Structure 1
Amino acid sequence: MLTLIAGALIPNITIDTDPENMLPKDQPARVFHNEVKDRFNLYDVIVVGAVNQGADGIYNPQSLTALHQLSKGISKIEGVVSSDMMDISTVDNISQGKSGEIRFEWMMREVPQNEDEAIEISEKVERLPLLQETIASADAKAATIYVPIKDKDESYRIANEIDLLIKGLDSEDDYHVTGLPVAEDTFGFEMFVQMGISAPLAALMIFIVMWVFFRNLKFVVAPMIIAMATVIITMGALIGMGFTVHIMSSMIAIFLMPIAVVDSVHIMSEFADRYKGESNKRSVIKQVVDHLFTPMLYTSVTSAIGFFSLMLTPIPPVQIFGAFVGFGILLAFILTIIFIPAYLVTLKDESLASLQNKSDSNTKLMKLLPKVGNSSLAKNKLVIVGFTGIVILSIVGLSKIQINDNPVRWFKESHDIRIADKVLNEHFAGTYNAYLVLDADQTALKNKWFETVKAIKDNELKESLNNILQSDEDFATKLNSSIIRLEDALFETSNENTEEIELLLEQIDSIKSEQAYFQQPDALRLIDGLQQTLKDSGFVGKTNTLSDVVKTVTRELKSGKAEDYKVPQSQAGVAQALLQYQSSHRPQDLWHMVTKDYASTALWVQLKSGDNQDMMKVVNHVDEYLTANPLPDNVSVKWAGKSYLNMVWQDEMVAGMLKSLVSAFVVVLIMMVVLFRSVLFGVLAMLPLSITILFIYGLIGWIGKDYDMPIAVLSSLTLGLSIDFAIHFLERSRAIYKQTGSFKQTINSMFKEPASAISRNAIVIAIGFTPLLFAPLVPYITVGFFLATIMVVSALVTLILLPVLLQATKRFAFKD
């Protein structure tokens, strides 16, 4: 009933695939990012690219006609900000008119009818730095359509509609659709599809392997019931409590499946080994639970702590993931202890008869395990040396780990998004965006005007201006309102107040001129310096800035030649260029680069890579430049954009994961010492865990796998699963030694049923999750591979190293 109730809540699922939500809503970088989007009216962008490898490249009538047709089609898709679309057919050509005039004409109002007209368009694009390598490639082989969208959660739908339009084109060009919003939203969609495939497949594989071991259908159904009930109740609780299912929480089912099965397999294994035809089921299950209750409790609590520790990370989805996996582990323990004995007791004797006919795989395993135990003790020195070498190599591998992530790399290389990302970033300046935002501090100007108003002699005028200053409007609006009020006063006043009002108007004009900091030539040259250093970083394909607009318009206002592509000498010259630009067909483009008071500007940075490491290198490169070339005291600089935000949450997640892993490790060590009431046993219990963690992350370093989101989360899984076998081995060894008083008999007994249960568990879970290796999404492949590796390594360390260490310390380990 509990499972049915929880299952009924699952249809209320709310899905969230936005990595931005990895950060809390009040996280400073996220708050600033959203503030910048509002300030400059920026949108998330889908990038559509057309590539033609022919002799004429993309500039041919057929290709340009298809591009024009596609652009018109995309503009009609619901959710697309059509007025801000950028492509050859929607941008202006900026050219000279009559002397001192400038012309803004559509780059491609009509599609070209012949090759000459197509080439003419290419020549126009080449003259405009704002467009080159952004909407057209330098090699003339490709062109793009930048598609701004109102809601990034609609990216997948819009991308699919664009694909349908592409299929209807009469074009031989290769079309690609990419961009971080598409990658993230597509991953979210495919992730849930994959979850619906992988979780049942993993369950099926676990079922098949258990059937191979036990050869009894009714018998092996029990662990599967526990696993499915645990997953359904946990996910139902998460959804029923109103939590959205994020990228992280979508993997709860995959993580819970092996953990929920572990305790059941231990019980089933010992029951199968103890049960004989004449046995009483109740007494056998009582003995089994009596032997296993303590180690299962220890392993469940320690595993849960490993995941609960994720609540220490500053990433909300990771906190939810850790909390509910931890809850699921404890739930699985309770369900196992209550349900499995009840289930086994209800089975008829004839249903259990087949358990006495051991399968070939069981027979081979039971013959092999004692040999493993005897060999490890006989070659104890070699075992110690071997594991010491593994630890040293693992530590070296740890030093090679590189923390890096990129949502596009969550797909296999054969995926359309990966292909699109590679192709378009080869042809263009970059499909990944970041923004370097410069702000000129207005505090001194505000204080200057406030003091001026205080000194006004006309009390009525002073009160009127003070009311304006106390309003909630921004400073620029307050100044404009003050000008209107002063002009009204000038019209109404007598001659004796005229001079004071005129002086106030002059002061406001002066303040407004100072306020428009990014209209000043020096400020634009400062931007030029930042542009150059960004290009020098080696990871930035191009930047588009306010300075580019001013220099392009200035060139066309003067000679049209390259020598006049420069910043004017005066603020008035800059203002004239910007005023001219506002008469274009796309005046709103200016406000994507600068605020209307010219006190804040955003440099659009195009990167060819979405890797966090590359974004970090760009940030560090700019920091070094600013250290050597400090900005004026009144100017500050901050980063925004999806590429930067991904870098921030990745850094916070890695730091948080490290903190949670260290905290959990310490807590589990203390628990082991307390639960075993022995420092020695506590340390021994932590050894397989420690070696497994070192080996797994050392292996990651050696194979060159980036430390990304799935790898970071695996630390908790490693901690939870690796200690399971050690606790069972040590607790059972101590219990058997109390009965026999002989270390030799203890080890002989341990390498029968207990070692068999450990081995079966490792094999069941390792093989059970092989379906994940065939998933189209890299995080699932990663989880599948490392989950299997964790089980195998921790089982081997437990069965080979722990007997040797117990033998070496038996005088202290078993002194009581």
Structure 2
Amino acid sequence: MSNQLILLSLNRPKLIYVALLVITLVSGLLMLNIQVDTDPENMLPQSEPARIFHNDVKKEFLLSDMLVVGIKVNQSESIFNQQSLADVKLLTDFILTLQGVKQIDVNSLSVIDNISQKEPGSIRFEWMMPEKPQSTEDVTRIESAVERLPFVIDSLVSGDKKAATIYVPVLDKNQSYQIANQIRDYIAQLSKSNTYYITGLPVAEDTFGVEMFVQMGISAPLAALVIYLLMLYFFRSPTLVAAPMIIAMSTVIIIMGLMIGAGFTVHIMSSMIPIFLMPIAVVDSVHIMSEFADNFRPGTERRGVIKQVVAHLFKPMLFTSVTSAVGFYSLILTPIPPVQIFGFFVGSGILLAFLLTILFIPAYVISINENRLYKMQQKLHEIQSLSQRTGQDDSENTLLQKVGRFSQLHKKLIIFGASLMVLFSVVGIQQIIINDNPVRWFKADHEIRVADSVLNQHFAGTYDAHLVFQLKNQSELISAWQKESTILVNNIGLSASQTSRLNQKITESTSTQDIVAASILLDDLLFDAESFSQEAADAMTALSEQTIASLNVFLQPEVLHYIERLQQHIVEMDKIGKSNSVVDLVKTVNRDLVSGQQKDYRIPDSANGVSQTLLQFQSSHRPQDLWHFVTPDYTKALVWIQMTSGDNQDMSLVIQQIEQYIQQHPLPQNISFQWAGKAYLNLVWQEKMVAGMMESLLSAFVIVFIMMAVLFRSVLWGLLAMLPLTITILLMYGIIGWSGKYYDMPIAVLSALTLGLSVDFAIHFIERFRATLKQQQDWQKTIVKMYQEPANAISRNALVIALGFTPLLLAPLVPYITVGAFLAAIMLISALVTIVVLPACMLMLKRFLQN
């Protein structure tokens, strides 16, 4: 097969050029359909139960994704001054005009009700700030009113009165960036007496998508430039170096085009595909060009040289490409769709780059003008001769030869040092902290990070989690009502058609509203009936009322008291600023309904009393706010938890502490609870990703080891080939643990790249060593030769890949910086282990390897 591919390349170079050009152009056109997606919710499959429940909760409780606009006073002692409140009013009015904003749920001082007592037994609902305050008296009135509303303090106004917020619900979170920019433009027209901040997970995610798209257009070309300059330094021929650059660019365009053409969106993971493939795609080309440059001499027939070189390198290049691809294909085992897509297309890109290298490089080399090849060779020889004449010790080859001698002379010391390094790494791995937060994807000085920090200092928190309570036996209660009701209806004495109509209504009932509708229908039928059994009708009415009371569980005082106690426990926990529920509305309305005094800020003693407070609230300007905390049938209730941190570690601790409280203080009978909210979803996908990454890493590790054993037809050689991979993975994750760097999404993905690339160097080293040993029949001479062209090619590849990722260090997005830094380190460490530790181990095991 290898000979057929090489002959195709050498005999039909124009066909190779045309085919590559056409495929690349078509793929480039497919990229025009690009769609960017940075929603962490999509880290979970649509069938994920936690995601389904979260979206059901949003629908049932009429919840929306929120932008948070903060207004912090600059000089005045309090946000309660005429100018700042006027700015809040003006900005709120502007936000209400924006398309994409759910106006009815915008929340700020100017669009909430001031709840007060009109007279005993009667409530007054008035707009808190219907217009800009005209005097200090207006300001004082607003401040006093705010102090009486617990659900406003630390939500819309900070407890220290230094800041206010506007909550901006969006109809589509993908419009968050656009809406935020419109708000920023308007803010520029307001007074300079306040500082403004915009944050919230939707705008953070959408902003990341915009900046990610920009970063794609910057990092990939920069990586290409760095790689080009490096290879130009190594090979001194712009013409020759153009070949691997063509392969790299074509690989990236084809793979991205296929991915986008297949309908996949560009997520944070897949946005890194170009920067991953760019350096990896030139690896095989560097090996070929390195050996070609060493073997080609003026007067030799280049066709024969390139054919011999490619044939010689085909097997190790094939296995390194396959093992690298396996490392990325292993990501398909994770339960995270964007990671699966990333793994599949990077793995496919590696195999494509190998195929293009085999087909394109020979065709390109035989098409180059011979004079250019001679000039390249002349430059390389001049540099080598100059180094030898001047006795320079810092040349590439001389340095590598010194490394080789060191590895031979101090093999025991090297192995002892490597063992200490492994021990150091194992201890560090045990200290790894798994954590992530989309807001941390930005640098600390990014405006979103700054806004997040400032607002979480002054307010209860910009991150939310939802604790959802629901009646467990709703269907059983309704079924029992249906069964008993059918018996009673048949005994009421209505006509056959009336009885059939009422029974059909009862049979179709599935909710409290349906039972109420059936009761209304019964009253209508009784009004038209000529005669009926009053006793049976009364029994039917009593049964319905009793069932409705049982279903309306979140009108029952004892249940609300439980939620009240739970909320009191919640606010005492670290990282939680506040919680809100229907209990807060009930107590606020009850206070002003009874006496207006704080002693009546409590839950009424009866379900009828609770119901009365909620009926009163529904006459306010914002009756829909009630349904954010309970469903209209009162079978479900939601506690909105505001957190000052969106870190998964903190969310996990909150869950643990609340569930421990519930275990120690059992819920009222027939009530269950479940979690929802963005902070919770982030925790779910992070945990699934970590478990999935571990599974994929172990699976791929075993597969790669089997491949190594098969390739070298020896378990011992296979184990040696895994040495650089094993040490590199352990050391990198050990450093992460010791440094305190969180194990987040980018770090997790690095395991696949480490597995895929670290073993490449070992394959080339061992394969070339065994081939050279077969020729030389002498270990000492073989080792010396290994530190010439083979080690030279490995070091070049390590530098090309490592430095190829350095443009990511200049990115404004933390995941890109993390990937750039750690990948550069991975390449350098794995190359060093390959040319220092691996030979030392081989020499120690010499007598076993000779058998």
TM-score by length of 2: 0.94
8 A Cα contact 2:443 2:814, kept in partner: yes
Give the C-alpha shift of residue 201 in structure 1: 0.2
More displaced 10-residue stretch of structure 1: 96-105 or 635-644: 96-105
Residue of structure 2 aligned with 1:58, choices 79, 87, 90:
79
Q: Distance in 1 between matches of 2:503 and 2:343?
A: 54
Among residues 356, 359, 368, which one is paired with 2:378 in the alignment? 356
| Aligned residue number for residue 756 of structure 2 | 720
Aligned position for 2:503? 466
* Residue correspondence of structure 1 range 252-267 to structure 2 within 5 A: 252-267=273-288
Q: 1:99 aligns with which of 109, 116, 120?
A: 120
Matched, 1:449 2:481: yes
| Aligned residue number for residue 452 of structure 2 | 421
Alignment of 1:529-540 (within 5 A): 529-540=565-576
Give secondary structure in 2 for the equivalent of 1:103: strand
Q: Is the 8 A contact 2:38 2:268 kept in 1?
A: yes
2:333 to 312, 315, 331: 312
Tell me which residue corresponds to 2:741.
705
Deviation of 1:476 (Å): 1.7
The offset of 1:628, in angstroms, is 0.7
Q: Which amino acid aligns with 1:657?
A: M
The superposition leaves residues 621-674 of structure 1 with CA deviations (integer Å, 9 ceiling, x where unpaired) of 111111111113310101111111111111111111111111101111111111
Q: 1:625 to 1:461 in 2, by over 3 A?
A: farther
CA distance in 1, matches of 2:499, 2:706: 70
Identify which range, 474-483 or 716-725, moves more after superposition.
Answer: 474-483
Deviation at 1:119, TM superposition (A): 2.7
In structure 2, distance between residues paired with 1:513 and 1:333: 71
Separation of aligned partners in 1, 2:850 and 2:442: 52
For the residues of structure 2 that align with 1:426 and 1:137, how far apart are their CA atoms? 9
2:133 aligns to what SS in structure 1? coil
RMSD in angstroms over aligned alpha carbons?
Answer: 1.4
The 2-side partners of 1:737 and 1:54 are apart by 79
Judged with a 3 Å threshold, the aligned counterparts in structure 2 of structure 1 residues 461 and 498 are, in CA distance, closer, same or farther, namely farther
Superposed displacement of residue 462, structure 1: 4.8
Classify the secondary structure of the residue corresponding to 1:156.
helix
2:436 aligned counterpart, secondary structure: coil
In structure 2, how many angstroms separate the alpha carbons of the residues matched to 1:278 and 1:388? 50
Partner of 1:382: 413
**What is the letter of the counterpart of residue 433 of structure 2?**
Q
Deviations for 1:699-742, whole angstroms, at most 9, x for unmatched residues? 11111111111111111011111111000000000000111110
User: Take 1:53 and 1:72, find their aligned partners in 2: how far apart are those partners?
Assistant: 22
- For the residues of structure 1 that align with 2:448 and 2:434, how far apart are their CA atoms? 23
In the superposition, relative to structure 1, how do residues 106 and 360 fare at CA in structure 2: closer, same or farther (>3 Å)?
A: farther
The residue type equivalent to 1:518 in the other structure is F
How many Å separate the matches in 2 of 1:18 and 1:756?
Answer: 44
Letter of the structure 1 residue corresponding to residue 818 of structure 2? T
Q: Please, which of 469, 488, 509 is the counterpart of residue 438 of structure 1?
A: 469
Matched, 1:278 2:307: no
- Correspondence 1:382-531 to 2 at 5 A: 382-441=413-472, 442-456=474-488, 457-458=490-491, 460=497, 462-471=499-508, 474-531=510-567
Q: What is the deviation of 1:22?
A: 0.8
Q: Could you tell me how far 1:469 is from its partner in structure 2?
A: 3.7
The amino acid across from 1:96 in the alignment is Q
Correspondence list, 1:788-807, <5 A = 788-807=824-843
Deviation at 1:534? 1.7
Q: Output the CA distance in 1 between the equivalents of 2:804 and 2:343.
A: 23
Are the counterparts in 2 of residues 454 and 462 from structure 1 also a CA contact under 8 Å?
A: no
Equivalent in the alignment of 1:761? 797
Which whole-Å deviations, capped at 9, do the CAs of 1:40-76 have from their partners, x for residues lacking one? 1110000000001424321111111111101000111
Amino acid at match of 1:641: G
Residue in 2 aligned with 1:777? 813
Residue in structure 2 matched with residue 673 of structure 1 by the alignment: 709
CA distance in 1, matches of 2:383, 2:808: 27
Question: Paired residue for 1:633?
Answer: 669
Match of 1:573 in 2: 609
Q: Displaced runs of 4+ in structure 1, greater than 6 A?
A: none
CA contact (8 A) 1:453 1:462 kept: no
Q: Deviations over 1:311-340 (max 9, x none)?
A: 111111111111111111100000011101
Q: Would the alpha carbon gap of residues 294 and 502 (structure 1) be closer, same or farther in structure 2, given more than 3 Å must change? A: same
Q: Using the alignment, how far apart are the partners of 1:764 and 1:319 within structure 2?
A: 27
- Scaled by the length of structure 1, the TM-score of the pair is 0.98
CA contact (8 A) 2:564 2:583 kept: yes
- Which whole-Å deviations, capped at 9, do the CAs of 1:544-596 have from their partners, x for residues lacking one? 11000000111112222222211111111111111111111100100111011
Taking the aligned partners of 1:474 and 1:591, their CA distance within structure 2 comes to 19
Match of 1:546 among 582, 596, 605: 582
The residue correspondences of 1:229-248 to structure 2 (distance < 5 A) are 229-248=250-269
- Using the TM superposition, give the Cα deviation of residue 140 of structure 1 relative to its aligned residue in structure 2, in angstroms: 0.5
Matched-pair contact (CA < 8 Å) for 1:490–1:498: no
Structure 2 Cα separation of the partners of residues 710 and 122 of structure 1: 46
Other-structure match for 2:724: 688
Q: How many residues align?
A: 814
Q: Report if the CA contact (8 A) 2:75-2:193 is conserved.
A: no
The answer (yes or no) to whether the contact 2:120–2:595 under 8 Å persists in 1 is no
Question: How many Å apart are 1:463 and its aligned residue?
Answer: 3.1
- Between stretches 766-775 and 738-747, larger displacement belongs to 766-775
Percent of aligned pairs with the same amino acid: 55
Q: Secondary structure at the match of 2:645?
A: coil
1:132 to 136, 153, 156: 153
* Alpha-carbon shift at residue 268 of structure 1 (Å): 1.0
Give the equivalent residue in structure 1 for 2:45.
24
What code does the residue aligned with 2:426 have? I
How far, CA to CA, are the matches of 1:203 and 1:677 in structure 2? Answer: 38
Contact (CA 8 Å) 2:559, 2:668: kept in 1 or not? no
Contact 1:41 1:591 in 2 (8 A): yes
- Give yes or no for contact 1:313–1:659 (8 Å, CA) kept in 2: yes
Q: CA deviation at 1:511?
A: 1.0
Structure 1 residues 167-215: Cα deviation after superposition (integer angstroms, max 9, x where no partner): 1112320000000000001001100100110010011001011111111
**What corresponds to 2:198 in structure 1?**
177
| Partner AA of 1:126 in structure 2 | E
Aligned to 1:340: 361
Partner secondary structure for residue 89 of structure 1: helix
Would you say the 8 A contact 1:276–1:356 is kept in 2? no
Q: Which residue of the partner structure matches residue 312 of structure 2? A: 291
User: Secondary structure, in 3 states, of the residue corresponding to 2:75?
Assistant: coil
Q: Distance in 2 between matches of 1:620 and 1:755?
A: 53
1:62·1:171 contact (CA, 8 Å) conserved in 2? no
Partner deviation per Cα, 1:275-323 (whole Å, 9 max, x = no partner): 1122211121122112211111111001111111111111111111111
Q: Secondary structure at the match of 2:579?
A: strand
Counterparts of 1:548-567 in structure 2, within 5 Å, are 548-567=584-603
Unaligned runs of 5+ in 2: 1-21, 388-394
| Residue among 4, 7, 23 paired with 1:2 | 23
**Whole-Å Cα distance in 2 between the matches of residues 467 and 253 of structure 1?**
62
Task: Measure the CA separation in 2 of the matches of 1:164 and 1:355.
Answer: 60
Does the 8 Å CA contact 2:74/2:193 hold for their aligned counterparts? no
Q: Specify the code of the residue in structure 1 equivalent to 2:441.
A: W
Asked if structure 2 preserves the Cα contact closer than 8 Å seen for 1:734 and 1:814, the reply is no
Displacement of 1:356 in angstroms is 3.4
SS for the counterpart of 1:636 is: strand
- For 1:615, the equivalent position in structure 2 comes to 651
